[in-house]
Structure 1
Amino acid sequence: MKITKASLAEVIYKNHDDLTKKQAEEAVESFLRIAKDALIDGSGLLLSGFGKFNVKEKKPRIGRNPQTEETLILDARRVITFKPSGKLRSKVNGK
């Protein structure tokens, strides 16, 4: 099952009688905006019972173009990592 922003907003709308569909969509958009801003700033994002998103700094490194065999320097970059919580890991593994 693929979860999209629209399907997530639909589930929130159906589970909360006091929210309109528009409010559910805005809630999803607000959460995603807060999450993106935190990661862009380099902060972690911890969701209890789900996991933690972190931003790691990668150093420049030597790479190679496989077609030309040319050696080049790959720039430093930032990558996002995810570490699931113990509870989520257990449920995914059926424990």
Structure 2
Amino acid sequence: MAIVKSKLIKELKKSYPNFLIRDLDKVVEIILKEIKETLKRGEGVELRNFGTFRVNIQKASIRRNPKTGEKVSVPKKRTIKWKMSKDLFKKLNNEKE
């Protein structure tokens, strides 16, 4: 099951009961906004012990519509590539350091 922002804020509230929910919501919003703006500038984002986000540029190409077989021109676009950290990999695979 995926975690949504509201559930993340509830979990933060359990861990930090002295903070107000609106303050935790604002902190999460600021963090997500900074990540988005950094990626929009074409820079990478590194979150230690979690992973890195990088901007990947897909070049323009001509592809085929599978339904009609017609050739379609796809413009150049930017995508996000995420790579998990070694620590997260070890935790997911129950490996000891």
The normalised TM-score by structure 1 is 0.91
Task: Tell me which residue corresponds to 2:66.
Answer: 66
Structure 1 runs (4+) greater than 4 angstroms displaced: none
The alpha-carbon deviation at position 2 of structure 1 amounts to: 2.7
- In structure 1, the partner of 2:2 is 2
Structure 2 residue runs of 5 or longer lacking an equivalent are: none
> Which secondary structure state, in structure 2, belongs to the residue aligned with residue 54 of structure 1?
strand
For structure 1, the residue ranges without an aligned partner over 5 or more in a row are none
SS in 2 for 1:18: coil
Q: Does 1:84 align with 2:84?
A: yes
Listed one character per residue, the Cα deviations across residues 22-74 of structure 1 (whole Å, up to 9, x for unaligned) are 10111111111111111111111100000001001111112001122112221
RMSD: 1.2
Could you tell me the TM-score, scaled by structure 2's length?
0.89
Alignment of 1:14-53 (within 5 A): 14-53=14-53
SS in 1 for 2:87: helix
Shift of 1:17: 3.6
Give the whole-Å Cα distance in 2 for the aligned partners of 1:57 and 1:43: 12
